[in-house]
Amino acid sequence: MAVEQSLTPAGEQTRIHNIGYRHYDGPRLGRAYARRSLFSQSLRGAYGLGRSAKSKVLPMLLFVVMCVPALIMVAVAVTTKMKDLPVDYTRYAILLQAVVGLYLASQAPQSVSRDLRFKSIPLYFSRPIERGDYVLAKYAAMTSALFALTAAPLIVLYVGALLAKLDFAEQTKGFAQGLVSVALLSLLFAGIGLVVSAVTPRRGFGIAAVIAVMTISYGAVSTVQAIADAQDNSGAITWLGLFSPVTLIDGVQTAFLGATSAFPGGHGPSTGQGVVYLLVVLGLIAGSYALLMRRYRKVGL
Amino acid sequence: MIATESLSKRFPRVTALDRLSMDIGPGVTGLVGANGAGKSTLIKILLGLSPATEGRAAVLGLDVATEGAAIRERVGYMPEHDCLPPDVSATEFVVHMARMSGLPPTAARERTADTLRHVGLYEERYRPIGGYSTGMKQRVKLAQALVHDPQLVFLDEPTNGLDPVGRDDMLDLIRRVHSDFGISVLVTSHLLGELERTCDHVVVVDGGKLLRSSSTTDFTQTTTTLAIEVTDSDEHPDGTRALREAFAGRGIETTTGGELPGAGHTVLITTQRNDTYDLVRDIVADLGLGLVRMEQRRHHIAEVFRSETDIERKEAVTHGG
C-alpha cells in the first residue's frame, strides 16, 4: 500500500505527454545542400568520424604515420641548423606512397562499397539528390581526405622550415609545388581507388584490389625500371613510368614542378614527355569519373 | 495524389506496365499484384527515376517526366529489400537521410527523434542497426521514409518477412501514418488480406494491367447472405438438415457454408426482406432447436478478386478468340 501511495505522485510528475505528430514546415534546402552534406559525411567518415571507435583507429594511425617522419626531419633540421630540408616537398608523398596506398585501400571501399553492399543507394536516389551528385560528393570527399593526408606533413615541413629560418622564397615555392603535386595525386588516387572498390560490394575484395592496383603496380614498374637501368636503357625507364599511379605523379612533377625524379638513375621525363604524363593523368581522372557514373547508372532502385 | 494515363513500360524482353490508367486520391491505397505484376516498376516511374515508354503520370500534380526532383522532395520511399547499414545507429542513419532530403542539421535531428518515437523506436535507437530484429529494421526503414514529412509515402512490401504480430503492428502503423500524421500512403503487397484491413482504396494490378480499382468498402460491402448455425436436439438429431428442410418447405433456397472445416453445420440463406430475421427465429423456435449463430456474411477481397480475375480471363479469351 505504502509503495503504491509513494508511486502515484511520482507517476503524475513524470507523465509522458503525447504531443502527437508535428508537421515540418521549415526550409527544404534541396540538391546542392544534400550534395554538400553527403560530401562532409563521407569526408568525416574517411577518418572514422561519426563512425565506431574501431573504424577510427586505422585512418588516424596512418595519418600519424604520415606526419611523424616530417616532424623528425623538421626536428633534425632545426637542431642541426641545416641549410635545406632533407627531403623535397614533392618527394615526400612518393617516399611514403605505401602509407598513402594503404589509406586509400582501407577507406575507398568503406566509402562506396558500404552503400552498395547494404543496398542503401535507392534511399539516396529516391531523394532530390541524383546520380551525378552522389558520384561528385563521393569523389570530392575521397580526394579531400587524401589531400588532407598528404598535405598535412607538407605543412609540418613548411612550418618547420620557416622556424629553422631557411630561405623563405625558396621554401614557399617548393611548398606550393608540393601542394599542387599532392592535389593531383589525391585526384588520381581517389579516382582509381573508388572505381576499383565500386566494382565489388565486398569490402575485403575492394581492399585487396586497391592494394594490388596501387602498390603492386608500383613495385612491378620499379623492378622493370631497375632492370632497364642495369641495361642502360634510359628511354625505357622514362616510358615505363606511365604504368603505375605513383610513377605517373612522379613523372608529372619532375617535368613541371621542379622535382627530382625518383626513377632509377634520375631518368625522369623531359617537358615534352611530361605532357604525355600529364595527359595520361588527366585522362585517368576523367575516365574514373565516367566509370563511376556508369557504375551507378545500374544500381538505381 | 497520383494520376496515370495509359502508362506503359516496356523492356526489351518484357512489358512491365501495359497502358495503365488510374487515379488515386488521398488516404491509404493498396497496390496489389503478384510478384512481377509491375508494382515496383510503377513506383520507380512515379519517383521520376525511370522514364515511361509511353503515357503520362503525375504525382501531387507534378509531372514525373520533368519534375522528378520536386516529387522526390515531397515523397517518401521505403524499399522492399534490406537497405540499412548495420554499423551505425538508427538515429545517425535517419539524421543522415533527413539531410539528404534537404533538412537543415538541427531540423534533421529533431525530426529524427520525433519520427523514430512515432514509429515506436525508443532507447534502442542509439544502438547499431546490426543488432535489431526484423520488425525494428522495418520501423527504421519506415522512419527514413517519413523523416522529411512527405505528403505521400510509397511503401514497398512493408510487411515482408515479419511474423504475424509484427505484421499487425506494421499495418496499424501504416494506418496511423494517414490517420494521425495526415500523410497519404501507397502500399504494395501481394497479400490481399492485409490491405483489406488497412486501406481505403485498393488497386489490383496483374501483368502490368489494371484489374480493378475501387474502395475497400466496395470490395467487402455487406452482402445479403445470412449465415445460420443451430444445435441438434433429440427430436431432430441433425438440426442443420431439419432447418434446411424447413426452409425448403417455405420456398427459401439454402446453401451450405462452403468447404471450410465445420462449415457443413452452417446454412446460408439470402435475405430478401427485413422480416427474414423474424422468419429464421420462428422456424428455429418451431423446430425446438437452439440458435447458435446468425450473422451477416461479408465478402473478403480475395473472393471478389478471384471472381474478377476469372471474369477478366474469360473476357480476354473471348476477345482473343
The answer to whether B158 touches B174, Cβ cutoff 8 Å, is yes
Residue of B nearest to A22 (CA): B181
Selecting from A34, A118, A300 the residue whose C-beta is nearest the C-beta of B84 gives A118
Superfamily of domain B2-219: P-loop containing nucleotide triphosphate hydrolases (3.40.50.300)
Question: Which domain range does residue A61 map to?
Answer: 31-298
pLDDT digits (tens, 9 = 90+) for B27-39: 999 998 877 778 8
- pLDDT of A85 > 50? The answer is yes
- pLDDT of B299 > 60? The answer is no
Give the number of domains in chain A. Answer: 1
Average pLDDT over residues A176-189: 95
A34/B50 touch (CB, cutoff 8 Å), yes or no: no
Residue of A nearest to B180 (CA): A21
Closest C-alpha among A10, A31, A215, A207 to residue A111: A207
B49/A50 touch (CB, cutoff 8 Å), yes or no: no
Decide if A232 is inside a domain: yes
| Those residues with Cβ within 8 angstroms of residue B112's Cβ, 6 or more apart along the chain or in another chain | B91, B94, B95, B98, B143, B147
| Alpha carbon of A21: minimum distance to chain B alpha carbons (Å) | 6
Residue A168's SS3 state is helix
Decide if A210 is inside a domain: yes
- pLDDT of A11 > 50? The answer is no
B101/A128 touch (CB, cutoff 8 Å), yes or no: yes
Long-range contacts, B120-125 (Cβ 8 Å, 24+): B120/B169, B120/B173, B121/B90, B124/B90, B125/B89, B125/B90, B125/B91
Selecting from B86, B102, B182 the residue whose C-beta is nearest the C-beta of A33 gives B102
B182/A27 touch (CB, cutoff 8 Å), yes or no: no
Mean pLDDT of chain B: 84
| Alpha carbon of B111: minimum distance to chain A alpha carbons (Å) | 8
pLDDT digits (tens, 9 = 90+) for B232-266: 888 888 888 888 888 888 777 777 665 555 566 77
- pLDDT of B270 > 80? The answer is no
Average pLDDT over residues A48-58: 85
Hey, what amino acid is at A66? M
Decide if A263 is inside a domain: yes
Selecting from A24, A34, A128 the residue whose C-beta is nearest the C-beta of B149 gives A24
Q: Check residue B289 and give its pLDDT.
A: 84
- pLDDT of A48 > 50? The answer is yes
- A96 versus B303: the higher-pLDDT residue is A96
Domain ranges of chain B: 2-219, 223-298
B223-298: CATH architecture = 2-Layer Sandwich (3.30)
Residues of A with CB under 8 A from a CB of B: 20-24, 26-31, 33-34, 37-38, 41, 50-52, 55, 114-115, 118-120, 122-130, 300-301
B79/A37 touch (CB, cutoff 8 Å), yes or no: no
pLDDT digits (tens, 9 = 90+) for B129-139: 999 999 999 99
B73/A28 touch (CB, cutoff 8 Å), yes or no: yes
Which of A84-93, A155-164, B163-172, B255-264 has the least mean pLDDT?
A: B255-264
Residues of A in contact with B114 (CB under 8 A): 21-22
Decide if A272 is inside a domain: yes
Q: Which spans in chain B are helix H?
A: 39-46, 68-74, 90-100, 105-118, 134-146, 164-179, 192-198, 216-219, 239-249, 276-287, 301-320
- pLDDT of B306 > 60? The answer is no
| Those residues with Cβ within 8 angstroms of residue B86's Cβ, 6 or more apart along the chain or in another chain | A118, B128, B129, B130
Nearest-angstrom CA–CA distance, B195 and B242:
40
Nearest-angstrom CA–CA distance, B144 and B136:
13
pTM of the model: 0.81
Average pLDDT over residues A78-92: 87
ipTM: 0.84
